[in-house]
Structure 1
Amino acid sequence: MIMSIARAGNICTNSVFRNGHVSRGLSMATAHAPSITLFQYNICPFCHKTKALLEYAGVQYSTVEVNPLTKQELKSLSGNYKKVPIAKIDGEIVNGSDKIIDMVLNQPTISKALAARWNEDGSENQCMSMEEFRSSESAIFWKEYASDELAALLYPNICRSLSDSYQAFGYVRDVDSFSPLQKVAIRGLGSLAMYFAASKVKCKCDPSQPRNILSTKIILFLSLLMFSRILLSQERNY
């Protein structure tokens, strides 16, 4: 299990990094790219997980900042789902980061462009195609790890105190669609509500050590990626 995860980690990092630089995305004909609008909270880790894929794939998209108190921006969408992210992809409403990512990856233009990127790495990726990797044990592991072990721990860290939570909600100052009164209300009430919500998450682990727990998860993630490079180097020597 660890060996397959490590191999997958090497594939992922080699696909993202080029000579020490982070790849900013793929070039594709914008005329054939899907129209994507993402309804988000600026500090939502699952929204950022979704945007990371869109930006890596070079997909143009627009965002709508949702008022976390009223969620007025979501009332025009069908259904009772009131969490973020929500995406409108070519007019179709898609709820939740995992479903959005799956639908984006299934778009023909994006899938073709990503497959080309995958094949750029040559022999390192010849053991499986991108489609095979997406359904592999390793891909499922990393997908769950990103959501359950990393993203889920971000709120308890950025909102671990009332002061930290208030600071995190400072983003509302730059949201032009919010009125001055809304900005004051969101930063005051929103930061208070998020502090108590984050406290519930902390209670499920060690409430006094949210940053140590997140650091441990990140170290494990980086260690597996480093191990994957060592493993690949050894395989090449045989």
Structure 2
Amino acid sequence: MKRFSGLNRAIFRATQPAAASSISANPTHHRILQTAPYSSSSSSSPFNSRFLWHHEIVNHSTHWSRSAAANGVAGTMLFSVAASTLAEEVHAKELPPAKKFNDVVLYQYEACPFCNKVKAFLDYYDIPYKVVEVNPINKKEIKWSDYKKVPILMVDGEQMVDSSEIIDKLFLKIHPENPDSSLEWRRWVDNHLVHVLSPNIYRSPSEALESFDYITTQGNFSFMERITAKYAGAAAMYFVSKKLKKRHNITDERAALYEAAEKWVDALNGQKFLGGSKPSLADLAVFGVLRPIRYLKSGRDMVEHTRIGEWYSRMESEVGESSRVMEQK
């Protein structure tokens, strides 16, 4: 009955003078959305760099094959417009393909850029997910897994690891017909951008402590676990960041960060996003890894001294609210 009523409404609209033009001028837009392995380590410290950085719509088409015997052309045109309008209405009511995921659980560190890269994808595609905050010292929350880094994403009982591989698998499930066209820039995120972040986030003891404040509010940790993680972790990462700075030949942390931000803006080539009118997977990757630093001192400095702020604001709007499901305590 709903489809029949919709068809009646469509035929009625098709008989109105402005119907044809309004249909073609206002296509329905759907949020069929679009969007690395950072394994540098310091064997001399338990807080090595992995400590923080581990990491259809159905194309509904209706074809009417029979032509009317009398007034065939006019009748066919009328029915074609009506059927097109009905298809558009039904199309708009389809559940987003992301709804095919029933139980999604992310094991993460709140400040980890790779975890945030996965969250940016989940948020953009409106995939509901639960979060388990992993204690970065004893990692007791992931003792069940042979994989001892984060992120770990459990999707309907299937374990997925490594942020880039997680996103590839999810994207393929949502868009099996659309290959990723931004792979080169996603590799740039994994192989360059993330290496610039650590020396900036932990540039000074005060900045290192600022970044570890998250542990005081995230996760089901005891008071002593929080204090230990915050102060011991911040101190360790301050020294690790100096080693990473040297390893990646970074002489000026902020200059390297600003250069990376400008390089990304240049890649947009005047477009809203690298993907054009909508974010690509590379847009989501850059946004994801920058999100944990955006409101830290390093992120504030980056926005103040580069052109990346407008793009970041557009991405905040596109990604929208978090899809995280808060569990009842």
TM-score scaled by length of structure 2: 0.51
Structure 2 distance, partners of 1:103, 1:192, is 36
CA 1:227–1:46: 2 relative to 1, 3 Å? same
Structure 1 distance, partners of 2:101, 2:183, is 26
Aligned to 1:224, the other structure's residue is in SS state helix
Written as runs of structure 1 = structure 2, the 5 A alignment for 1:164-175 is 164-175=207-218
Aligned residue type for 1:71: K
Aligned residue type for 2:199: P
Structure 2 distance, partners of 1:142, 1:178, is 37
Structure 1 spans left out of the alignment, 5+ residues: 1-14, 17-26, 113-128, 233-238
1:38 aligns with 2:106: yes
Structure 2 spans left out of the alignment, 5+ residues: 1-32, 35-94, 277-329
Where does residue 89 of structure 1 map in the other structure?
Answer: 155
1:151 aligns with 2:199: no
Deviates more, 1:202-211 or 1:141-150: 202-211
Where does residue 98 of structure 1 map in the other structure?
Answer: 164
Aligned to 1:106, the other structure's residue is in SS state helix
1:195 aligns with 2:195: no
Written as runs of structure 1 = structure 2, the 5 A alignment for 1:118-137 is 130-131=178-179, 134=180, 136=181
Where does residue 28 of structure 1 map in the other structure?
Answer: 96
Where does residue 184 of structure 1 map in the other structure?
Answer: 227
Q: Quick check: 2:101–2:156 contact (8 Å CA) kept in 1?
A: no
Q: C-alpha root-mean-square deviation of aligned residues, in Å?
A: 2.4
Structure 2 distance, partners of 1:63, 1:36, is 9
Return the match for 2:175 from 111, 130, 139.
Answer: 111
Aligned to 1:144, the other structure's residue is in SS state helix
Note the C-alpha offset of 1:88. Answer: 0.9
Return the match for 2:121 from 53, 60, 64.
Answer: 53
Structure 1 distance, partners of 2:221, 2:191, is 31
Structure 1 distance, partners of 2:225, 2:212, is 12
Note the C-alpha offset of 1:176. Answer: 4.6
Note the C-alpha offset of 1:217. Answer: 0.9
Q: Quick check: 1:199–1:207 contact (8 Å CA) kept in 2?
A: no
State the aligned residue count.
Answer: 182
Structure 1 distance, partners of 2:236, 2:109, is 14
Aligned residue type for 2:232: L
1:217 aligns with 2:240: no
Return the match for 1:72 from 132, 136, 140.
Answer: 140
1:163 aligns with 2:206: yes
Structure 2 distance, partners of 1:64, 1:141, is 31
TM-score scaled by length of structure 1: 0.69
